[in-house]
């Protein structure tokens, strides 16, 4: 499957990520693509996650969740008639 980036890793701002993802989806041709990310909800476990060079894991993953569940992104997916599937569907 062809992989799409979805949005750049920086900035971590969900509004900017949503806009970037919408732009990327608009440029897709017909086909099956894969997008991989690691959205997460705020939790003590998430807050304790990180390592040198990636200390803001919590903010990054919560921004992923906010982006992927945004009304604007979902409306755009619907407008483009994109069918969201899971691995199981392949």
Read off the pTM: 0.88
pLDDT in tens, 5-46: 999 888 899 999 999 999 999 999 999 999 999 999 999 999
Helix (H) or strand (E) holding 2: strand 2-3
How far apart, in whole angstroms, are the C-alpha atoms of residue 55 and residue 48? 10
């Amino acid at each position: 499957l062809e992989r799409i980036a979805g949005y750049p890793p920086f900035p971590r701002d969900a509004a900017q990520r949503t806009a970037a993802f919408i732009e990327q989806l608009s440029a897709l041709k017909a086909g099956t693509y894969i997008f991989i990310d690691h959205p997460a909800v705020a939790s003590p476990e998430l807050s304790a996650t990180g390592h040198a060079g990636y200390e803001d894991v919590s903010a990054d993953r919560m921004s992923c969740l906010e982006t992927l569940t945004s009304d604007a992104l979902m409306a755009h997916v619907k407008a483009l008639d994109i069918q969201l599937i899971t691995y199981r569907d392949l």
